[in-house]
Amino acid sequence: MRESTPVVVIGAGPAGLTLANLLRLAGVGCVVLERQSRSHVARRQRAGVLDYASTRIFEEWGLAETLLAGMPEDRVLEIRVDGEPHLLDMRALSGGRTGRAIPQQVLVARLMAAFLDGGGDLRFDAGEVTPHDLDGTAPKVTYRDADGTLHEIACDYIAGCDGYHGVTRESVPAEAMTTYSYDHGIGWFTVLADAPPPRRPLFAISAHGFAAQFPRGPAACRLYLECAPDDMPADWNDDRVWEQSRLRLGDDALPTGPITDKAVVEMRSFVVDPMRYGRLFLVGDAAHIITPMGGKGMNLAIADADVLARALRAAVHDGDEEPLAAYSATCLRRVWNQQEFSRWLTELTHEAGDSALAGTFRRQLARARLDRLFASGPAGRAFADLMAGG
């Protein structure tokens, strides 16, 4: 089976689905190939916050109403230190640039529906997806459908939106990209629970170890608990999860509920430079991963998709390849800014509590940084600015 399209998008996570929608709105034809089934993609629960920059992207493309209806604003962040609450008014500190709390699977379901309702071509269960001839002028992608039929799609550009473990980055010669990676030296254990969510996103700092609790819709929450880097989910039975949560959040009356998912999060960062090879453009996790601290993974993917959609529109409609030439550098500036923010926040929140991690001197430094964050307007505004993204 042979066919052609201007752009093949590989992967239908937040990056691929955002890009596919923006390309459709830009009048650029594309085919999306996803390895998994539709129900698998729709069920995957991960991120839960759209920063302000992402909400602006969806507003500018006229998608905000479709995608964000009913999703609450993230107005206040609580940082609880040794059980004492400090409320950061993110709305005021950011000059009104607040994000939205939206479970990833809700956003993904709405992106899928919007693309398919608009006549988009999204193919699930695509096996053996392989990009070819990336460095020439006529790339193509082959894949095998669920019935075993081999397909070949000729295209002008390929968007690698297939996540960290995808096939597109692997198809680039190693010497064509520089890789940066960093192990943050801590572990995070995370659970999803059908338990009452906190009134606001919450970071908790104490000598018992870092913890965070975030709403995931009206009746569920996600908890993150600092743990040993080599911990396994089996090390955390439900009793230990709730006992440690109560202790670290300083809340003896913390409401509990059934735990629906447990996982150990790899606290690792990774960036490739450039995010392009010939006619292949890497988007989202295919090009960079970031720890969940700061909630930027999904937002970086959406920002990449926006830059690429605009650049592909210029290339396909106007023959102007300059925005495509700038794609990687434009995205990497934002990526490194957010990597730095995420690392800074990780140090702040972990070292301020746990002196075993970095010693008592660094613990005092982290406490001083926290005091500055709570007491100084400019420090609070700089923090809120980074949380807003962009």
Enumerate binding residues for ligand APR (CB under 6 A): 10-16, 33-36, 41, 46-47, 104, 126, 129, 161-163, 166-167, 284-285, 297-298, 301
- Tell me the closest approach of the beta carbon of residue 230 to ligand APR, in angstroms: 22
Nearest to 335, CA basis, from 268, 376, 287: 287
Q: Which is nearer to ligand APR, 34 or 354 (CB)?
A: 34
Distance CA 326, CA 311 (A): 9
- Tell me the closest approach of the beta carbon of residue 54 to ligand APR, in angstroms: 11
Q: Which is nearer to ligand APR, 34 or 306 (CB)?
A: 34
Q: Which is nearer to ligand APR, 129 or 357 (CB)?
A: 129
- Tell me the closest approach of the beta carbon of residue 287 to ligand APR, in angstroms: 8
Q: Which is nearer to ligand APR, 380 or 389 (CB)?
A: 389
Q: Which is nearer to ligand APR, 9 or 249 (CB)?
A: 9
Alpha helices in 138-250, H assignment, sequence order: 238-249
If 0-12 CB within 10 Å is exposed, 13-18 middle and 19+ buried, where does residue 382 land? middle
**Phi, psi dihedrals of residue 367, rounded to the nearest 5°:** -65, -40
- Tell me the closest approach of the beta carbon of residue 184 to ligand APR, in angstroms: 15
Tokens standing for residue 73: 């604003």
- Tell me the closest approach of the beta carbon of residue 16 to ligand APR, in angstroms: 6
- Tell me the closest approach of the beta carbon of residue 44 to ligand APR, in angstroms: 7
Q: Which is nearer to ligand APR, 18 or 206 (CB)?
A: 18
Q: Which is nearer to ligand APR, 285 or 351 (CB)?
A: 285
- Tell me the closest approach of the beta carbon of residue 320 to ligand APR, in angstroms: 26
Distance CA 101, CA 70 (A): 10
Tokens standing for residue 178: 């520089």
Nearest to 143, CA basis, from 124, 158, 128: 128
Q: Which is nearer to ligand APR, 52 or 242 (CB)?
A: 52
Distance CA 246, CA 242 (A): 6
CA distances 390 to 49, 75, 98, 103, 187, Å, are 14, 18, 12, 20, 28
Nearest to 177, CA basis, from 30, 51, 278: 278
- Tell me the closest approach of the beta carbon of residue 128 to ligand APR, in angstroms: 8
Residue 234 neighbours by CB under 8 Å, 6+ apart: none
Residue type for 189, please? F
Yes or no: say if 273 and 177 are a contact pair by the CB < 8 Å rule: yes
